[in-house]
Amino acid sequence: MKNPKKYHNLGEMLTSSSEIFSYYTSLPAYVRSMIGERSDNIHTEEELHGYADKLLRGDD
């Protein structure tokens, strides 16, 4: 398993990767809002996808 790239926070991730930015902006507004509230705790693309998937399932 490859070692995922770690970012300082969501903001750094979004400005560093156009693919991650595109994914994030494709999410519903309520999901982006909830992710934004915890942006300092999201450090990898896998964490972002996992948290978004959880929110989309309604498991928050």
Q: CB-based contacts of 45: which residues, under 8 Å, 6+ apart?
A: 4, 5, 13, 17, 20
What is the residue-averaged pLDDT of the chain?
A: 93
The answer to whether residue 19 sits within a structural domain is: yes
Q: Are 6 and 44 in contact (CB under 8 A)?
A: yes
pLDDT-derived band at 15, boundaries 50, 70, 90: very high
Local structure of residue 8 (DSSP, 8 states):
S
Query: For the whole prediction, is pTM greater than 0.85?
Result: yes
The answer to whether residue 4 sits within a structural domain is: no
d(CA 1, CA 7): 18
Tell me the residue range of the domain where 37 lies.
10-55
Q: CB-based contacts of 40: which residues, under 8 Å, 6+ apart?
A: 9, 10
Domain count, the chain: 1
